[in-house]
Amino acid sequence: MSWKKLNCQPHDLQLLATLSGGQSFRWTHNTETDEWTGIFSKTVWKLKQADNCLLYQVLGSLLNFPENNGSNNKKTNFKKLLENYLRLDYDLKELYKDWSNKDELFKSAGQQFYGVRMLRQEPVENLFSFICSQNNHISRISSMVEKLCTNYGEEICKHENTVHYSFPDIEKLECPKVETQLRNLGFGYRAKFIQKSASQIVEWGGAKWFDGLQNMKYKDAKCELMKLHGIGPKVADCICLMSLNHLEALPVDTHVYQIAAQNYLPHLRGKKNVTEKMYTEIGDHFRTLYGDMAGWAHTILFCSDLKKFQLGDNSQVNECSKPKRKRKK
């Protein structure tokens, strides 16, 4: 299968931090070929960075079927799908310049962690993936998301002995028996959150319900999301930021709290828990600092502070080994 080209310079898109920094959980990296395989929009993709462009392949898709597009003659524009997913309509160089002028810490982080993009994800997948993320780590979250897909999604294609599935439609997750099934699959208390939230969304209009949230003001959309079973402020902010175009949303976890307390809000240092008041204060501080794209800007700071990434001699972001243990005194 031949590669197709997308006009995108390496400095405008850094695949490692963008695809494995905790936004999406359906991308895998082949370190030998430096190729990424992932799934979105019921389509299986392969991506690879070249010197002056992004190379991509469509390994399989459910979007080519007539019943999905309404016409035998209408073909899916996969290039536009990919451009939209990667938010290539935003000039990242200008955004980095603006954020660097506002914050010296960002200026330092931005020079090393270039090309980190905020993915434009599908709300249904985004929401249920982040329900799985509660009190969890990335490898287990990824495993849970794949279980949702293999048990409730549609088969897209088989590639290199791996069968790839789409993320399930929300109607597949609302049936009461889904909770028991998911508990048997190891989802724990998240099983109830998934089934109950799916049932609520179907009752409120299904996937189209999310369209209304995109047209709301950020705080109103967040409040609506928190009416769902098991959705707290952090998960609501993740959904607002990553799939509802509310780029000022800023999910605050203990890691984000540490960045804020250490570098911006010293009076918050030493706190054991992030209270609701602290959560709001941290988010508002970065919204004041960075403006209406504070969530995207802070994602770069978040990636730069992760132990998972480090700067190599060739100015590329690489996965690093486990941190060294401190010597006993």
- The predicted-structure confidence for 283-294, as pLDDT tens digits, reads as follows 999 999 999 999
The whole-angstrom separation of Cα 222 and Cα 294 is 16
Does residue 323 carry a pLDDT above 60?
no
Residue 8: alpha-carbon gap to chain centroid: 20
Could you give the domains of the chain?
87-311 (1.10.340.30)
The model's confidence at residue 74, banded by pLDDT at 50, 70 and 90, is low
The pLDDT of residue 67 is: 40
Say how far apart CA 133 and CA 42 lie, in whole Å. 22
Q: How far apart are CA 238 and CA 140, in angstroms?
A: 18
Encode pLDDT of 146-204 as tens digits.
Answer: 999 999 999 999 999 999 999 999 999 999 999 999 999 999 999 999 999 999 999 99
pLDDT band at 307 (very low <50, low <70, confident <90, very high): low
Query: What is the pLDDT at residue 66?
Result: 45
Q: How far apart are CA 304 and CA 327, in angstroms?
A: 25
Q: How far apart are CA 155 and CA 65, in angstroms?
A: 13
Contact 252, 279 (CB under 8 A): yes
- 93, 103, 144, 177, 205 from 68: Cα distances, Å: 36, 46, 27, 28, 20
**DSSP string over 155-168:** EEEEETTEEEEPPP
Instruction: Give the H/E segment covering residue 197.
Output: helix 190-203
Say which residue, 297 or 73, is predicted with more confidence.
297
pLDDT value at 72 more than 60: no
pLDDT band at 75 (very low <50, low <70, confident <90, very high): confident
pLDDT at 320: 30
Which pTM value belongs to this model? Answer: 0.89
Judge contact between 128 and 171, C-beta under 8 A.
Answer: no
Catalytic residue among 4, 102, 234, 308: 234
Concerning whether 177 is annotated as a catalytic residue, the answer is no
Mean pLDDT of 74-85: 92
Rounded Cα gap, residues 306 and 303, in angstroms: 5
